[in-house]
Amino acid sequence: MAFPFIPLLLLALPLAEIAVFVMVGSEIGALATVGLVIATTILGSILLRVQGFGILTRIRETMDAGGSPGRDLVHGVMVLLAGVLLFLPGFVTDALGFLLFIPPIRDLGWRLIRSRITIVTAAAGPGGFRRPGRGRTIDLDEDDFARDDKPQPQRPSITDDR
């Protein structure tokens, strides 16, 4: 059985953040520390917006060309995670968030998880998305087919003048 790292991380991360806050606060002062945390949050939101729109554009271009946007989707998730990490107050999460904004770091993450991802493609047509090779769609007019069910008896409508 593998050691559960998530509970350990949830315990260690706040302790590391507190330790770094104390060290930075003792060096530059409490007000400057709070200002730095606010500045990294603002910078993170700007980076999230710029890189997020760039990734959405690349995903759209890849799909328009008929390719699979798996890599760009993973990059998009990593940029979103980076934005969340930068919104959280703290220097450790900010450092991790800024690292995820660097494309070579994201490529490394993509190479590590690429073999664990299954990409399912779908073909888009006039009726929306469908799986390729899943039968044919035959479009018929109303007079080209007949239903087997019995016709329902016609009930008089409320507007009939009888």
63-88 pLDDT, tens digit per residue, is: 888 777 888 888 888 988 998 898 88
On whether residue 42 sits in a domain, the answer given is yes
Segment 52-63 mean pLDDT: 87
For residue 26, being part of any structural domain is answered with yes
Q: Are strands 123-125 and 128-130 parallel, antiparallel or unpaired?
A: antiparallel
Structure tokens at 17: 């953040």
pTM of the model: 0.64
Distance CA 99, CA 82 (A): 8
Residue 33: which residues within 8 A CB-CB, separation 6 or more?
21, 24, 25
Q: How far is it, in rounded angstroms, from Cα 18 to Cα 25? A: 10
Token pair of 142 as six digits: 């109303």
Residue 147, in any domain of the structure: no
Mean pLDDT of the chain: 80
Can you give the residue range of the structural domain that contains 102? 9-117
Query: What pLDDT, on the 0 to 100 scale, is given for residue 2?
Result: 60
Q: Count the domains in the chain.
A: 1
**Would you say residue 159 lies in a domain?**
no
The backbone region for 114, taken as left when phi is positive above 0, alpha when psi lies in -120 to 50, beta otherwise, is alpha
